[in-house]
Amino acid sequence: MENVSVKFLPLFVLGLALVVSLSVGMISRRQARSGYGVQFQSIGHASIGAAIASNWMSAASFLGIAGVFFVKGYFAFAYVLGWTGGYVLLLVLMGSQLRRFGKYTASDFVEARYESSLARVFSAIIAILITLIYCVAQYKGIGLIFGWIFGIDYTQSLVLGVVITIGYLVVAGAMGATRNQQMHYLVLIVSFVVPLAFISNKLGYGMSLPQFTYGRALLDLPPDTARDYLFPWTFGTAYEWIALSFTLMVGTAGLPHVLSRFYTVPNNRDARWGVVWGLFFIGLLYWSAPAFGAFAKVWQVRSGMELDAQSAYQLADLVVVKIAEWTGIPEILLSIIAVGGILAAMSTITGLLITGAGAFAYDIYYRLINPKATEQHLLQVAKAATLVLAGVILLVALNPPGLIAQITAIAFALAGNTLFPVFLLGIWWDRANKQGALAGMLIGTLITFSPLLFGNLIPGLRTILPPTSSALIGAPVVILSIIIVSLMTPPPPEALRRFLVEKVHSP
Amino acid sequence: MDPTSQTEKADKNDDLRVNFFRPRPGFMRKEVMIIWGTLIAWAFVTFGLPIHIAWQHSDPQLTLEEVPKIFGIPFYYLFEGQFVIVWFILICFVFNVLIDWLTTSYRSRR
């Protein structure tokens, strides 16, 4: 035990952040009840945008992109492009129409549009799988930072982090605290951007706009290293780059928790304009993330730190915290960046676990196992499902299969190969029917998992279908399958097609 | 009577077609035209520019000095890494302005 060295200031800041978060959550709830909430919600499009960004920002954005940049340089921009461009697809192809359709969850939409309980169950299973994969990446982030704070190994810190997260979820649930999305965004972005300015200053590149000046830092690297980091295809081919960014885009447009953001806004026009602000707020993070990776690389070269590829990978997901520690910025800033990473991961985990457990209780248990279950019984099932899900994720996260951003990308591939085509054709093609949707979701799931399951057996499979990037081929194949199967089977009823024309596609 | 509005009326009653590639005349067709325009601007940075960059930098002998630069940093790097977010915000902004205009003009007709 004598080797364990706890960092007390980050621990104190974390405790403070959780207490403040709970208190603000209580106040937000009380204001919403007394009517002040309505006034607060109508602050405007910027406020909606902040909520979109807050809902979006996870450990993948906060820790992951900088990590990929640290090991793969320019290649990391595929993540930046993918995780912003997806909102363009969502806004342009589906946002307004999904809202006019009037269903609140992915499963609700699938059942209503395709008139099939089986399709609903299938989409719920997919939503739960997405939750599982997405949360594994968040758990890894929590495990790494808790390990850093407490000076303990990854397995211990992961268990500790998960216990604290679930504990927080239970307490917040018992107190009925809701998350104030705008404040959450503000806390995350400040804890990311302010320390970055200090890091830049410590390295001699000034405090102003490190998001743009880090390019100079990269040019100060030895010519060979600079070439590797700045040249486009050092760490991956053009196909891999395009496939990854496309996969992340269609995945964004198909992620259930991103789609449901569209419904919590008072009207359609506000939701659309909220996306513009949301992109700007997400952009603030993505303009900054590569700078962390770049500064960490510069520090590594300057300090003569020797890192082989494997050590660099092990370090990558903690590089945002490590570069703050290496450069010796004030400890309070070091603490808030570490706590920011934990909060980003924790909020994503709690949100996704609740959604995943809800999908199990209401879409699978109620539909398939016990249709006579009461509301109270379903609530208990959901609570039990939360714990089971949390446990399953913990087991997978003990041996994380990749970098945080890479694990998250697999969840995006699944959403892009299954839910995105089903939503897209459900909205834009009246002839798409339940047989087509079922076939599409089945084929999409197979495409997503085939490189993971059969990658070692079939040569070249992972080259054509990289696990993180399978939707460039997968999504069009699934769209085509839905079209073919739908044309071979009877069309949807006239009432549904009329609803599409008169409600979903009318101004 | 305006022939376009006659077609629109006929379609409204009989045709239940919703097809992105063959949109019904009127609101849906104009909306789809705006979507296509936005998608082209989106595809430019998603596919067009990366393919262009791949083609321009395929020579393994190429050095950093030979690449077109702005502020000493390769142009493609600034564009695909930084400006692309501004690009997406801009195209969403223009899309929203056009959809607002289209929605208002069709609502006032009804």
d(CA A189, CA A197): 13
Kindly report the length of chain A: 507
Task: Name the residue with tokens 């590149």.
Answer: A205
Residue B17 has pLDDT above 70, yes or no: yes
**In this predicted model, what pLDDT tens digit does every residue of A26-80 receive, in sequence order?**
887 666 554 333 344 445 889 889 988 988 999 999 999 999 999 998 899 999 9
Q: Give the rounded distance of the alpha carbon of A88 from its chain centre.
A: 16
Mean pLDDT of B58-68: 76
Across the interface, whether the CB atoms of A84 and B84 are under 8 A apart is answered yes
CA–CA distances in Å: residue A382 to residues A121, A325, A353, A375, A393: 16, 41, 10, 10, 16
CB atoms near residue B94 (< 10 Å): 15
At residue A111 the predicted structure's pLDDT band, cuts being 50, 70 and 90, is very high
Percentage of the residues of chain A whose pLDDT score is greater than 70: 96
Across the interface, whether the CB atoms of B50 and A91 are under 8 A apart is answered no
d(CA A314, CA B81): 25
Name the B residues in 64-83 with CB < 8 Å from any A CB. 64, 71-74, 76-78, 80-82
Spell out the residues 6+ positions from residue A233 whose beta carbon is closer than 8 angstroms to its own: A241, B54, B57
Residue A322 has pLDDT above 80, yes or no: yes
pLDDT of residue B3: 44
Residue of A nearest to B101 (CA): A507
pLDDT of residue B14: 60
CA–CA distances in Å: residue A439 to residues A31, A363, A453, A470, A485: 46, 19, 20, 18, 7
Name the B residues in 8-47 with CB < 8 Å from any A CB. 12, 15-20, 24, 27-28, 31, 35, 38-39, 42, 45-47
Task: Name the residue with tokens 């919590």.
Answer: A264
Q: What is the mean pLDDT of chain A?
A: 90
At residue A295 the predicted structure's pLDDT band, cuts being 50, 70 and 90, is very high
d(CA B74, CA A466): 28
pLDDT of residue A39: 40
Domains and CATH numbers, chain A: 8-34+45-504 (1.20.1730.10)
pLDDT of residue A42: 44
CB atoms near residue A282 (< 10 Å): 26
The shortest CB-CB distance from A238 to any of B42, B54, B81 is to B54
**In this predicted model, what pLDDT tens digit does every residue of A249-260 receive, in sequence order?**
999 999 988 887
**In this predicted model, what pLDDT tens digit does every residue of A201-221 receive, in sequence order?**
999 998 888 888 888 888 888
At residue B47 the predicted structure's pLDDT band, cuts being 50, 70 and 90, is confident
Residue A456 has pLDDT above 90, yes or no: no
The shortest CB-CB distance from B106 to any of A282, A497, A507 is to A507
Residue A478 near residue A440 (C-beta atoms within 8 A): yes
H/E stretch holding A314: helix A309-316
What phi and psi values does residue A245 have, to the nearest 5 degrees?
A: -65, -35
**In this predicted model, what pLDDT tens digit does every residue of A144-187 receive, in sequence order?**
999 999 999 999 999 999 999 999 988 888 887 777 888 889 99
The ipTM value here is: 0.91
pLDDT of residue A267: 83
At residue A300 the predicted structure's pLDDT band, cuts being 50, 70 and 90, is very high
Residue of B nearest to A285 (CA): B85
CA–CA distances in Å: residue A170 to residues A40, A329, A339: 26, 35, 20
A225 to chain B nearest CA, in Å?
11
d(CA A10, CA A332): 8
Residue A97 near residue B28 (C-beta atoms within 8 A): no
Instruction: Report which of residues A396 and B108 the model is more confident about.
Output: A396
**In this predicted model, what pLDDT tens digit does every residue of A227-268 receive, in sequence order?**
888 888 788 888 999 999 999 999 999 998 888 777 777 788
Residue A407 has pLDDT above 50, yes or no: yes
pLDDT of residue B16: 82
Residue B96 near residue A88 (C-beta atoms within 8 A): no
Residue A118 has pLDDT above 90, yes or no: yes
pLDDT of residue B77: 83
Spell out the residues 6+ positions from residue B60 whose beta carbon is closer than 8 angstroms to its own: none
Phi-psi region of A242 (alpha: psi -120 to 50; beta: other; left: phi over 0): alpha
pLDDT of residue A35: 39
A115-119, B1-5, B80-84: range with lowest mean pLDDT: B1-5
A336-350, A448-462, B53-67: range with lowest mean pLDDT: B53-67
Instruction: Enumerate the residues of chain B whose CB falls inside 8 A of the CB of residue A84.
Output: 84-85, 88
A91-100, A112-121, A411-420: range with lowest mean pLDDT: A91-100
CB atoms near residue A330 (< 10 Å): 11
Mean pLDDT of A429-442: 96
pLDDT of residue A224: 83
Q: Between chain A and chain B, how many beta carbons pairs sit less than 8 Å apart?
A: 143
A18-27, B40-49, B55-64, B82-91: range with lowest mean pLDDT: B55-64
d(CA B107, CA B110): 5
